[in-house]
């Protein structure tokens, strides 16, 4: 009976932690997914925790099993059409693990808990499941703050090439990364990219629009906005595909020949 209870607790704790890690991974990737897919991926993460019960496993085998489970977890949580984005997602998942577990270890070192179990290259603390879950939740909050800082490291005032795609049509232009653009669509809370309306006249005329309130130091106004199929932003070396954004049309010229759009660098991770 004790073994069954231990296995149940082990599964529950790792299910919860995997769910948090997948949430962090999705935020770093700027990607959305269905709740049921997150639950499936978390379930695989919970099952992977039973590997710790195996005896005499070499570090090489342990690393291979972890990589295999990570691939299953990420693939279950989110769909991928190409191999490269999938491998990038797995790498981000491991990066999330390092930040998350590093914060948990730091928290426990501060409080100096009694009893540490190490097996198959995993570290387990001899504490109650409730305490471990509480620590995981605190670590999740701290990790989100770290993710926010990482996203803010994208250099402001930089010029990026951008492609706006709507109904199999696309427009290429240049965008300024400016933290001053804090516009968000009120209902979805998606960030808003402000674009010179002249640049998008051909693809935006017949699209359904929403009104975005826009407040500046000198005045308040409203901008007409639409949701594109995607916005592809490139720094020259890396590319980000944004789907959870709105594009607002500005009647005013933004900067002449240098750029035709303004984007908040916080929504980029390039």
Across the chain, which has 270 residues, the per-10-residue mean pLDDT values are 53 82 80 84 84 69 82 86 82 83 72 54 58 73 72 64 92 86 88 91 88 72 92 81 92 71 77
- Residue 214: left if φ>0, alpha if ψ -120 to 50, beta else—which one? beta
Closest by CA to 260, choosing from 174, 147, 160, 169, is 174
Look up residue 199 and give its DSSP letter.
Answer: G
For residues 250 and 6, give the distance between their C-alpha atoms in angstroms, rounded to a whole number.
60
Domain ranges of the chain: 2-152, 159-267
For residues 151 and 149, give the distance between their C-alpha atoms in angstroms, rounded to a whole number.
5
Q: What is the pLDDT of residue 118?
A: 46
Give, in words, the CATH class of 159-267: mainly beta
Q: Do the beta carbons of residue 115 and residue 127 sit within 8 Å?
A: yes
Q: What is the pLDDT of residue 5?
A: 42
Q: What is the pLDDT of residue 255?
A: 59
Q: pTM of this prediction?
A: 0.52
Q: What is the pLDDT of residue 225?
A: 94
Q: What is the pLDDT of residue 157?
A: 62
Q: What is the pLDDT of residue 169?
A: 92
The terminus-to-terminus CA distance of the chain in angstroms comes to 51
Q: What is the pLDDT of residue 4?
A: 41
Closest by CA to 17, choosing from 145, 138, 151, 146, is 138
Q: Exposed, middle or buried by CB within 10 Å (0-12, 13-18, 19+), for 158?
A: middle
């Amino acid at each position: 009976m004790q073994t069954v209870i231990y296995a149940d607790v082990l599964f529950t704790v790792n299910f919860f932690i995997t769910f948090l890690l997948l949430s962090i991974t999705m935020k770093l990737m700027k990607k959305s997914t269905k709740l049921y897919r997150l639950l499936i991926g978390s379930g695989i993460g919970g099952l992977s925790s039973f590997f710790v019960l195996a005896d005499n496993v070499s570090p090489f085998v342990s690393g291979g099993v972890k990589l295999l489970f990570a691939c299953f977890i990420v693939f279950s949580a989110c769909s991928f059409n190409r191999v490269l984005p999938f491998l990038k997602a797995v790498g981000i998942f491991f990066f999330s693990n390092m930040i998350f577990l590093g914060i948990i270890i730091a928290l426990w070192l501060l409080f100096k808990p009694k009893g540490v179990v190490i097996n198959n290259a995993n570290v387990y603390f001899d504490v109650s499941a409730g305490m471990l879950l509480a620590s995981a939740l605190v670590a999740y909050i701290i990790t989100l703050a770290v993710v926010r800082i990482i996203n803010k490291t994208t250099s402001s005032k930089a010029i990026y090439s951008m492609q706006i795609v709507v109904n199999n049509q696309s427009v290429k232009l240049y965008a300024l990364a400016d933290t001053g653009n804090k516009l968000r669509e009120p209902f979805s809370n998606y960030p808003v990219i402000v674009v010179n309306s002249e640049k998008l006249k051909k693809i935006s005329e017949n699209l359904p629009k929403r009104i975005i309130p826009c407040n500046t130091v000198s005045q308040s106004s409203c901008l007409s906005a639409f949701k594109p199929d995607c916005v592809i932003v490139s720094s020259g070396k890396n590319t980000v595909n944004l789907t959870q954004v709105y594009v607002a049309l500005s009647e005013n010229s933004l900067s002449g020949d240098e750029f035709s759009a303004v984007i908040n660098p916080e929504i980029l991770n390039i």
